[in-house]
Amino acid sequence: MNVNLQRKTDLDTPCLVLDLEILDQNLRKMQALTERAGKRLRPHAKTHKCSILARRQMEVGAIGICAAKVSEAEALYRAGIENILVTGPVVTLPKIARLVALRAKAPSLMVVVDHSGPIDLLSTALGDQGLTMDVLLDMDIGLHRTGVSPALAINLADHILAHSNLRLRGIQAYAGQMQHVRSYNDRKKGSHQCLQQATEIFHALQTKVPTCTVLSASGTGTSDIDLDILELTELQAGSYACMDAEYLAIGSAEDNSRFTAFGPALRLLTTVVGVNQDGYVTVDAGLKAFYRDGAVPQIINPEYAGLRYDWFGDEYGRITGSGSVRMPPLGAVLELVTSHCDPTINLFDRYYVTQGPKVVDTWSIDLRGCSQ
Ligand SMILES: Cc1ncc(COP(=O)(O)O)c(C=O)c1O
């Protein structure tokens, strides 16, 4: 959808802006890194929550898209994307019914499983419709959130194999606890140790299950690290497209104080609405605009670099000064790299897509609120 607004400075705030040039650089870079390593990319849509952006990732070469929830997968399907992996366990009967209904329309839909109970329920629901489905065994390699422990993984694989309408395609192993480890060397060592647990099970399964060909893993923070792992077949990175202050502050192979691989495509614009206090000014973006997690949003206007954002209640933020930097006047618009991008994006209806100073499009954040 084209917008009447022509310039970024005309946008009302708070709003989310996506810099198209940086976004496309990020998409092409991750795709190239993955292909150079002989792997495939299945980016996670839980970050950007936008089917237009997901389609752009597929146009650049992604083999499919990850969804955290069934409702995200449904929205992606409605937007014309069929090759979807649901990366979270689907446990309740209503959601299993929705998953099976989606599988009836999208034969390439895959889901992860990590427990015998939901496996039985899924198989029964598929059987009622005369359907089969591809599944990945979700392994807990240290996050301790979902997934089966390495010690029980082979038993659970046998349980899957006992259901003729489930096809075991491989393993998912996401080491979320490693993604933001600041030191590159510690992150590398930790991620390789975690993933070794998955590669051992992957080898064991491959000897007895010919369909077991997928090892899907990794996030933005360990993407370059995990591409070295021979057995890994596909990368599930998500944040690399938009990026946020938390990721930009971790170390990289080139620079131990900065993550240099991907640029901050996502920004939030906020306006100074209060200047009546000494020592700080008030802006119109608070808890309902920036998720309070990850890292503090970073001001990127060069003239205000060095000023600091802090949350100041639901609707407001506080900008405090440092040294000689001039405070922004009433009505000034600040541009900030966001705190944790996924839940921040989930607070907005649309991205304003910009090329330099121009607003060239708006993209609906159509997976927003798909939390079921
Ligand atoms: C299962 C899974 N895979 C991949 C990702 C993508 O990670 P990142 O956003 O760090 O790239 C996530 C993010 O939480 C996830 O939960």
Per residue in 31-81, pLDDT (tens digit) is 999 999 999 999 999 999 999 999 999 999 999 999 999 999 999 999 999
Domain assignment of residue 250, yes or no: no
- Mean pLDDT to the nearest integer, 155-166: 98
235 Cβ closer than 6 Å to some ligand 1 atom: no
Instruction: Say whether pTM exceeds 0.95.
Output: yes
List Cα–Cα distances, 366 to 45, 173, 236, in angstroms: 11, 27, 20
Task: Tell me the residue range of the domain where 28 lies.
Answer: 20-241
- pLDDT for 302-360, tens place per residue? 999 899 999 999 999 999 997 788 999 999 999 999 999 999 999 999 999 999 999 99
219 Cβ closer than 6 Å to some ligand 1 atom: yes
- 236 C-alpha to ligand 1 centroid (Å): 6
**Res 4: pLDDT:** 60
| Cα atoms found within 13 Å of the Cα of residue 175, Cβ hemisphere only | 26
Place of tokens 């489930």: 166
Buried (b) or exposed (e) across 309-344, using 16+ Cβ within 10 A? bebbeeebbbbebeeeeeebeeebbbbbbbbbbbbb
Phi, psi of 85 (to 5 degrees): -110, 125
- Mean pLDDT to the nearest integer, 190-217: 97
187 Cβ closer than 6 Å to some ligand 1 atom: no
CATH number at residue 203: 3.20.20.10
Taking the alpha carbons at both ends of the chain, their separation in whole angstroms is 27
- 175 C-alpha to ligand 1 centroid (Å): 9
Sign, CA dihedral 153-140-189-247, equals: positive
Q: Residue 182: pLDDT above 70?
A: yes
Cβ neighbours, 10 Å, residue 101: 15
Domain assignment of residue 157, yes or no: yes
222 Cβ closer than 6 Å to some ligand 1 atom: no
Omega before residue 14 within 30° of 0, cis: yes
297 Cβ closer than 6 Å to some ligand 1 atom: no
How confident is residue 5, by pLDDT bands cut at 50, 70 and 90?
A: low
**Res 322: pLDDT:** 76
CA Rg value for the chain: 22
- 224 C-alpha to ligand 1 centroid (Å): 14
- Mean pLDDT to the nearest integer, 268-287: 97
239 Cβ closer than 6 Å to some ligand 1 atom: yes
- Mean pLDDT to the nearest integer, 166-185: 98
**Res 294: pLDDT:** 86
Atom of ligand 1 nearest to the CA of 239: 9
Q: Residue 150: pLDDT above 60?
A: yes
- 353 C-alpha to ligand 1 centroid (Å): 24
- pLDDT for 70-127, tens place per residue? 999 999 999 999 999 999 999 999 999 999 999 999 999 999 999 999 999 999 999 9
Total number of domains in the chain: 1
Atom of ligand 1 nearest to the CA of 237: 11
Place of tokens 């206007």: 301
Sorted by sequence, the CB contacts under 8 Å of residue 71 that are 6+ apart come out as 98, 370, 371, 372
List Cα–Cα distances, 195 to 34, 44, 109, 184, 351, in angstroms: 17, 19, 25, 16, 35
Domain assignment of residue 359, yes or no: no
- 225 C-alpha to ligand 1 centroid (Å): 15
238 Cβ closer than 6 Å to some ligand 1 atom: yes
Domain assignment of residue 356, yes or no: no
Best substitution site from 27, 34, 44, 85 to test ligand 1's pocket, by max atoms within 8 Å of Cβ?
A: 44
Burial classification of residue 9, based on how many CB atoms lie within 10 Å of its CB (0-12 exposed, 13-18 middle, 19 or more buried): exposed
**Res 252: pLDDT:** 96
Q: What is the mean pLDDT of the chain?
A: 96
Domain assignment of residue 367, yes or no: no
Q: Provide the pairing of β-strand 234-235 with 298-299.
A: unpaired
Q: Residue 198: pLDDT above 70?
A: yes
Sorted by sequence, the CB contacts under 8 Å of residue 32 that are 6+ apart come out as none
Domain assignment of residue 282, yes or no: no
Domain assignment of residue 103, yes or no: yes
Place of tokens 């889901």: 111
- 64 C-alpha to ligand 1 centroid (Å): 15
Domain assignment of residue 205, yes or no: yes
Q: Residue 1: pLDDT above 70?
A: no
